Chains A and B, each alone.
Chain A
C-alpha cells in the first residue's frame, strides 16, 4: 500500500471516529449545560420539593413543577392510547391484508404527515379540535369545556405521533419473514391467527420500539400542544380541563425569565427535567426490548 492510500485511510478513520464522538458528546453537553444553569435553583430548593410541589409562584420564589409534569404525562398517555391501537392495526392492514398499491400510496402520505410543521397541527387543533371538544364532545359527556383542554392536546399529539409510529411499525412488519407467515397459515391458522401468533410475537420488540418513539415524541412536543391545551395550572382528572405541559412552560415564559430571580434557573430545570424524562423513557424501552429478546 502506498503512502497516499495509507494517509487517506487514516484521515477517513479519524473523521469517522471524531464524528462519532462528537455525536455521542452532544446529549452529554446538553445535560451538563442545563444542569449548570439549573444549579442555582437546586441550591435553594430540594429536588423532591421541586417535582412534588404543586405551588407555582415565581414572584414568591416557589417553584413546584408537579402540575407541569402531570399535564405532560396526561397528554402523552392520552395521545398514546389514541394513536397506538390505530397505528398498530393500520400497519397490520397495510402490510398483511392490503394490496401493495395501497401501501405505495400510503407511504408518501405518511411522510408528508411527518413533515408538516407542528405549528400547522396546532392551528388545525385550534380551528377544529378545540371547537369540537367545546361544542360536541364535552356536552355529549354532560359537562362544559372551553375546548382548550388536555383532551385537545392529546388528540393533536396523537395525530402528530401517528406518522412516526406507523412508519416504524410498517418497517417492523416488513422484516418478518414470509416463510414464517406461510408456516403458520399452512398449519391451519386464519389470517388473524397468523397476525396474532407470528406478526405480533415476532415483531414485539419492534412494536415496543415504535411505541417508545411515539411516547418520547409526544412528551417533548411543544408548539402544537401549547396552542390547544389551555396553559392553565391545574391538576384535574377530567380530560376536559386545561393543562400546562412542561414544554409549554418553557416556550411561554422564555422571554420574561430574566426579570424574576431564579426564574431562568427554573426554566432550565424544566428543560433538564424534560430531557431526563425522555432519556428515562428511551432507556426503559431499550431495557424492555433487551429483556424481551433475551426471553
Chain B
C-alpha cells in the first residue's frame, strides 16, 4: 500500500511528462516577455525577452552586476523580498504569468528549486531540512517523508555520509555537503525547474565536480537555469548560453556558437578577459 502510494507520487512528474505531446515538450517551459526590474536609482533588467527550453541546462553568463541573479530571482518572485524593486513585464511558466499578484506564490515557488551561491541550510537538523518542503506541502505520512529524505539524500550522493547523523544540525556539515543537502531539500518538493545561482562558487574542485555531475544527471527530468561567470563551467554544462551585460541580453544560443564564434565586441572582450 505504502510502496504503491510512494510509487504514484514519485512518478507523478514522469507520468505528467509522458502525457505531454511532442509539441508541448518542444515548447519553452519559461517565456520571459519584456521583463524589466528597476529601482528609483536605475534599471537592473532592461525589458528582457527570453525563452527557456524544457529539460536543458541554460547558463546565464556575464560579468558581476549584469543582472543575472536578479533575472533568476524574478523567476520565482524572490524579488518580492526587496520592496525597492519595481518589476514589470511577463514571466510565463507553462503559459501562466507568475508576476500577476493572483498567482499562488508558495505553490508556484515549489515548482522551482533554488540553489544559492552559498548554501543556506535552515537552522534545524539534516533530516528536517530535507523534510521541510514536504511538510509545507502538507505531507504528514512519516514513512513517506522518511523515504523521500533517504531517496533525495541518495540522489545527491549524501546519504552514506549522513545516514548515521540525520538529527545533527545541518550546519555541522562541510560547505560542499551543505550545498548538496540544499539540492536534496529542493528536489524533495519535486520541482520542474532548478534555479542555481553560482552554486559552486564557494566549493572546492571535488564538490564542484559532484554538483556539475548531478546537474548533468538531473537535466533529464528538470530544467536547470544556472548563473555562472566561470566560462569553463558554462562550456562543460550548457545546452544554451545567454550572455548578459548591464541588464540586457547581448547574445544567446548553443555554447558552440556563442562561445566559439561570438558576434558582438562585448562578448569577444568578455571571453578574452574571462579566459
In the complex, the answer to whether B114 meets A201 with C-beta atoms within 8 Å is no
Q: Which residues of chain B have C-beta atoms less than 8 A from A177's C-beta?
A: 120
Give the distance in Å from the alpha carbon of A5 to the alpha carbon of B195 in the complex.
55
Interface residues on B, range: 20 to 34
- 8 Å CB interface, B91-141 against A: 105-107, 109-110, 112-114, 116-118, 120-124, 132-133, 136-137
Give the distance in Å from the alpha carbon of A214 to the alpha carbon of B156 in the complex.
46
In the complex, the answer to whether B120 meets A179 with C-beta atoms within 8 Å is yes
In the complex, the answer to whether A190 meets B120 with C-beta atoms within 8 Å is no
- Our pick among A182, A187, A190, A197 for the contact of B81 (Cβ within 8 Å) is A182
Q: Which residues of chain A have C-beta atoms less than 8 A from B62's C-beta?
A: none
In the complex, the answer to whether A187 meets B109 with C-beta atoms within 8 Å is yes
Q: Which residues of chain A have C-beta atoms less than 8 A from B76's C-beta?
A: 186
In the complex, the answer to whether A187 meets B110 with C-beta atoms within 8 Å is yes
Give the distance in Å from the alpha carbon of A185 to the alpha carbon of B78 in the complex.
8
Q: Which residues of chain A have C-beta atoms less than 8 A from B124's C-beta?
A: 197, 201
Give the distance in Å from the alpha carbon of A179 to the alpha carbon of B81 in the complex.
11
In the complex, the answer to whether A198 meets B136 with C-beta atoms within 8 Å is no
- Across the A-B interface, how many residue pairs have beta carbons closer than 8 Å? 72
Q: Does A290 contact B (CB under 8 A)?
A: no
Q: Which residues of chain B have C-beta atoms less than 8 A from A190's C-beta?
A: 105-106
- 8 Å CB interface, B148-200 against A: 182, 185-186, 189, 195
Write the residues of chain B forming the contact surface with A, with a CB cutoff of 8 angstroms. 73, 76, 78, 81, 83-84, 105-107, 109-110, 112-114, 116-118, 120-124, 132-133, 136-137, 182, 185-186, 189, 195
A and B contact pairs by CB, cutoff 8 A, 29 listed? A98-B83, A179-B116, A179-B117, A182-B116, A182-B120, A183-B114, A183-B116, A183-B121, A183-B182, A183-B185, A184-B122, A184-B132, A186-B76, A186-B78, A186-B195, A187-B109, A187-B133, A187-B136, A188-B106, A188-B109, A188-B110, A188-B136, A188-B137, A188-B189, A189-B106, A189-B136, A190-B106, A193-B136, A197-B132
